[in-house]
Structure 1
Amino acid sequence: MWQIRRWQISHGVFVCYYVAEEQADKYAASALQSSPGTTEPLATNNCKGCGSAAPDPILAQEESRFFPHFPFSPPAHQFGELCCGPDKQACRGSREHFREALEHVNARLLELYPDDEERFDIVLMTNNHAQVGVRLINSINHYGLTIERFCMTGGKSPIGYLTAYLTNLYLSADSEKVQEAIEAGIASATMFTANKDVAYSDTQLRVAFDGDAVLFSDESELIVKEKGLDTFFEHEQLNENKPLAQGPLKGFLEDLGKLQKKFYAKNERLNCPIRTFLVTARSAASSGARVLKTLRSWGLEVDEALFLAGAPKGPILVKIRPHIFFDDQMFHIEGAQKLGTIAAHVPYGIAQKYHKSA
C-alpha cells in the first residue's frame, strides 16, 4: 500500500502489500504440528533460496502471493521462497529491487531532511492468522527490512483497513482484492513478476505509467473501443485544451512528484533518486498534446514521455528498466513480463470489459 504519511506525527507515502491469502482457520490448528488425532504429516516446502525442505503448513501456501502494502513492498514470495518452519525466517527472495529502490529514496531524504518524516512507508497486510506474525517479524528483522506496520486480519479481507492506513498504493497478487480496492477508490494494481532477471538501477527509483485508464480516465479509450481510431483522433484534437478526468493512479504520480520536489528544493534535480515515465500507445502528433496539457493543468509532470503510436511497449521498457510498470491492458503486462519488467495490472476502465469477453 502506498501512502504519503498523513498521521499527526509522521508524514509519508504508504504502500501496502498483501501477503498471504489463505484462510487463517485452515492453518491455525496445523501451525506447529499436524492436526490432533491424525497421522497426516506436516506440509513441506522446498526452499528455493537454501534448498532445504521443512514443515511449514502456513507459509508453504504463501508462495506466489504478494504483500499488498506500501510503496514498494515485495510480493510475499519475494520476501522469501519459504523454509524452516513457522518460527524461523523466510529465505530472501531474488526480486528485491523495488523495495531496495524505495529504501534508497528514504535514505537520501533522511540525509537532506533529518527532521522530516515524509518518506515511503511499507505496510504489510495479510488475511492470515496472527500466528504468522512471528515468521514475518523474524524474516523482516533477519534481512534488516524497514517495515513497522502489520495488519493480520485472521481470515477477513484487509481491504476495509486500507482507508484507515491512509493508503497511497495497494499492491497484491490477488486480482479480486485489487478490484475491490479499486472500487473503493484506492490506487491499486495486481503485480506480476518478470519472466527473466534484468539489472535495475540501485540509485534511482524508476516508475512507468500508462496513460489512459491509469493516470487518466478511460473516456478516450472508450471512444477507441466503440468508435474506432479515426473518431478518437478527431475527438482528441477537438478537446485538446480540455483536461482529461483523473484515473486511479493519478494520486500516486502526485505523491511521487511531491517527493521529487523535496530533492529539487535542495538543488538535487540532476541527482534525484526518483524518475517517472509516461509510456503510452497514443500517437504524439494526433493525440499527445491533450495528455501533456492535462498533466500541466494538474500541476504535475513526468520526467520522460514516450508516445509509441501503437508499437509494443516491451522493448521500450527494457531500455527504461522501471522497478514497476502500471498498465490497464493485460497484453501490455504480458509483453513487459516476457522481456523482464515487473508489471502491475490496473483493473480499471473499458479495457476490462473487452478482456473478460476475449
Structure 2
Amino acid sequence: MTSMILNTDVLQKDPDRAVVVAITSREVFEKGAEEDHLILREDMTTSLLQLLHEMNKRLEQENLQFDVVLITTDSQQQQQSSSIISSTKHHSLEISRFCFANEEDFAESLQKNNVQLFLTSDRNEASQAMQKGVLSALLDHRAASAPSDQLRIMFCEDSVIQPDSGLMPASRQALQSLAVQLGEMRRRFSLTDSPLCFILMTTHGGKDSCVNSLLTLRSSGIHVDEAYCLAGAPRDPIMSVVQPHFTIRVSFSESEE
C-alpha cells in the first residue's frame, strides 16, 4: 500500500513547470544510535539537495524549478515515517512530498507522482523504475569529496550496458521530455556563471560517435558544457576528476520501437 504526504512547510511547485525528481530516503537519512532516530547523511546527497534548493531560488522568478519527492521503500524506514518527516522539516530540506511505498510497487508510485527523474545508488531499483518507463540515474558518491556550487549532470553513452540495461523506448521518450526542461533551465544562465553543468561521456567509438551524441543531445535541448570521448579507455580516472552528482545512461544508436 502506498501513502503520500505533502510537506506543508514547503511551497508546492507548479506541476506544469516543475521538474519532478524522486530520491530514496536511505540516500538522505541513516539510522541513528537510538531507535526511531534518524541522522542526516552528510555526503553528496545532502550537497545535491542544497544545490537543487539554490537552483530553485535562482529560478523562482522563471517559475521553473525542481520538485523533490522523497520515496521510502525500506520496511524499517517505513515504520519511521514520522521521524523522516520531522527530520526533513528540522533540517529545512526542500522536499515537497513524502511517498511511502512497498518495494514491489514503488515504480508505480513514481509513475503516479509524475516523477521525471529517479535518483538512487541501487542499480536494481534504477532498473525496475526504467522498466516502467521512469528515467533513472545513478548517484555518484565520489562527488562528495569535491564540494561544488554547481549541479553536475552526466549523460553517458555506454555500449557495454546495451541492450539489457539500456534505455527502453518509454525511457527515451522520458529523456526527451526531461532534456527540454533541463535545457530551458540551463539557458537562463550565462556560459561562465551557471549553477548547472551538462557533461557527455562516450565510452566507446571515436570522435564521430561523440559528435553524433553531442548533436542528438543538442536536438533535445541539451547544450553540453563538457564532453569526453574515451574510445575504450578506462572510465574511472576521468570520473574521479569530473565527479558528476549523478549519471544518466543513454543510448543514441538504437531506433525507437
Q: 1:120 to 1:83 in 2, by over 3 A?
A: farther
CA contact (8 A) 1:208 1:278 kept: yes
Instruction: Map 1:195-274 onto structure 2 (within 5 A).
Output: 198-201=145-148, 203-212=149-158, 218=162, 246=172, 249-263=175-189, 268-274=190-196
Q: 1:305 to 1:251 in 2, by over 3 A?
A: farther
Is residue 20 of structure 2 the alignment partner of residue 14 of structure 1? yes
Q: 1:153 to 1:295 in 2, by over 3 A?
A: closer
Aligned residue in 2 for 1:171: 119
Aligned residue in 1 for 2:29: 79
Q: How big is each residue's C-alpha offset from its partner over 1:1-24, in whole Å with a ceiling of 9 and x where there is no partner? A: xxxx6626xx311111233xxxxx
Q: 1:315 to 1:252 in 2, by over 3 A?
A: farther
Give me the whole-angstrom Cα distance separating, in 1, the residues matched to 2:103 and 2:213.
42
Is residue 135 of structure 2 the alignment partner of residue 187 of structure 1? yes
SS for the counterpart of 1:160 is helix
Instruction: Map 1:42-57 onto structure 2 (within 5 A).
Output: none
TM-score, normalising length from structure 2?
A: 0.75
Q: How big is each residue's C-alpha offset from its partner over 1:187-213, in whole Å with a ceiling of 9 and x where there is no partner? A: 01354634x951221x21111121246
Give me the whole-angstrom Cα distance separating, in 2, the residues matched to 1:250 and 1:200.
29
Give me the whole-angstrom Cα distance separating, in 1, the residues matched to 2:70 and 2:218.
34
TM-score, normalising length from structure 1?
A: 0.56
Is residue 87 of structure 2 the alignment partner of residue 161 of structure 1? no
Instruction: Tell me by how many angstroms 1:325 deviates.
Output: 2.9
CA contact (8 A) 1:170 1:186 kept: yes
Q: Residue type matched to 2:112 in 1? A: A
Q: 1:175 to 1:288 in 2, by over 3 A?
A: closer
Instruction: Map 1:1-358 onto structure 2 (within 5 A).
Output: 7=15, 11-19=17-25, 66=26, 75=27, 78-86=28-36, 88=37, 90-95=38-43, 96-110=46-60, 113=61, 116-127=62-73, 128=75, 131-153=79-101, 157-191=105-139, 193-194=141-142, 198-201=145-148, 203-212=149-158, 218=162, 246=172, 249-263=175-189, 268-327=190-249
More strand, by proportion = 2
Percent identity over the alignment is: 28
The higher-RCO structure (CA 8 Å, 6+ apart) is 2
Aligned residue in 2 for 1:27: none
Give me the whole-angstrom Cα distance separating, in 2, the residues matched to 1:252 and 1:200.
25
Q: Residue type matched to 1:139 in 2? A: S
Number of matched residues? 232
Q: What is the CA RMSD across the aligned residues, in angstroms?
A: 3.5
CA contact (8 A) 1:13 1:120 kept: yes
Give me the whole-angstrom Cα distance separating, in 2, the residues matched to 1:93 and 1:171.
16
Q: How big is each residue's C-alpha offset from its partner over 1:62-93, in whole Å with a ceiling of 9 and x where there is no partner? A: xxxx4xxxxxxxx1xx423424332x4x2221
SS for the counterpart of 1:200 is coil
Give me the whole-angstrom Cα distance separating, in 2, the residues matched to 1:207 and 1:310.
21
Instruction: Tell me by how many angstroms 1:150 deviates.
Output: 0.9
Residue ranges of structure 2 left out of the alignment (5+ in a row): 1-12
SS for the counterpart of 2:112 is coil
SS for the counterpart of 1:210 is strand
Give me the whole-angstrom Cα distance separating, in 2, the residues matched to 1:185 and 1:85.
37
